[in-house]
A and B are shown apart, each in its own frame.
Chain A
Amino acid sequence: MDAHDVKKEVRRYITIFIVLMMLTVVTVLVSYLKVPLWVAICIALIIATFKGSLVACYFMHLISERKVIYLIMGMTVIFFLSVLLLPFAEHHSVPQGTVNLNLTYKPVVLDQEHHAPESHAEGQH
């Protein structure tokens, strides 16, 4: 990489930085929208994935990396997604009446009460 290429890269880093800042603000603003929780989760995770991709592709230079790195990280992503999806495959074994998959939570403000409305054990058995 010669000096000219580095200057070009630096300009790109600054652009990515501005985009990341804007997306951070968007993430926070979207969280204040009155939308169903599952919509908020989807939007937040899509934005986070996009931001993460920008960091990985440009700051970590993954966009111009060697094949062996793609192979390692590709396999890692497969295992990562498998681990993330395991709870969904297993949720039927959670006792009836305790699974909260409808994602409609009652607001719980723990700090004001200084104690939890339920213990760890609750919701499990």
Chain B
Amino acid sequence: MDMIPYTVEPRKDTGLYSAKMGVWLFLASEVMLFGALFSTYIMMRIGSSSWPLGHQVLNVPIGTVNTIILIYSSVTMVLAWAALKENQWSKHKLYLGLTILFALIFLVIKSFEYGAKFSHGTFPKTHTYYAIYFTLTGLHALHIIGGIVVLGYFFGPGAKMFKTQPERFTNRIEVVGLYWHFVDLVWIFLFPVLYLL
């Protein structure tokens, strides 16, 4: 049976293995998705006669903690990949596990934040600000959930590939890492835009 080409060795035309090229194209589409929503935010804000300041209606310390948690998860993600490059399997498992843990903590904190808003009768329909707040953070949370599913796969059943095809597995971790860093990158912009300004 023929193997799928360019899972490890780079293509001659792009200089990249196929999965890496694919994930960068996917991230380009993701930039446009969030770009459209940021554009919507700007449109709503300049078109509204009043707009609450983020720090008056949201909990800045909680947002800050979540930002720090996501930065932690980004570092552990890249360290998980570096551990594979050094052929240190246990280190890789530790860092990948920590990445998943941080992602789950982020979601738990976010759910408490949402819960507090709902219990105060604040919903997307309450105000244009909340409509865009819930849309942006909700979409971001969906990306976190998607990331947890993929990371969980590579932490569990997908990990056995390292025994047979270590380079291919390392590339897979690099690719999922690119996605994960992008999710962190989006939050880096969401935090000041929604919580501080």
Known contacts: A31-B196, A101-B46, A124-B47. The answer to whether A24 contacts B127 by CB under 8 A is no
Chain B residue numbers with a CB within 8 Å of A6 are 82, 85-86
Known contacts: A10-B79, A44-B192, A99-B46. The answer to whether A52 contacts B51 by CB under 8 A is no
Q: Helix, strand, loop or mixed for chain B's interface?
A: helix
Chain B residue numbers with a CB within 8 Å of A83 are 32, 35-36, 38-39
B21 interface residue (CB < 8 Å to A):
yes
Q: In which size bucket is the chain A interface?
A: 35 or more
B164 interface residue (CB < 8 Å to A):
no
B49 touches A118 (CB 8 A): yes
Known contacts: A111-B122, A115-B126. The answer to whether A28 contacts B49 by CB under 8 A is no
Contact with B along A19-47 (1 / 0, CB 8 A): 01100100110010000010011001101
Contact with B along A105-125 (1 / 0, CB 8 A): 111111100111110101110
Query: How many residue pairs at the A-B interface have CB separations less than 8 Å?
Result: 187
Q: Helix, strand, loop or mixed for chain A's interface?
A: helix
Known contacts: A13-B82, A72-B25, A123-B47. The answer to whether A66 contacts B15 by CB under 8 A is yes
B15 touches A100 (CB 8 A): no
- Min CB distance A85 to B, Å, is 8
Chain B residue numbers with a CB within 8 Å of A107 are 52-53, 56
Interface residues of A in 1-23 (CB under 8 A from B): 1, 3, 6-7, 9-10, 13-14, 16-17, 20-21
Seed contacts A55-B185, A59-B78; 5 additional CB < 8 Å A-B pairs:
A14-B75, A83-B35, A110-B129, A111-B120, A114-B122
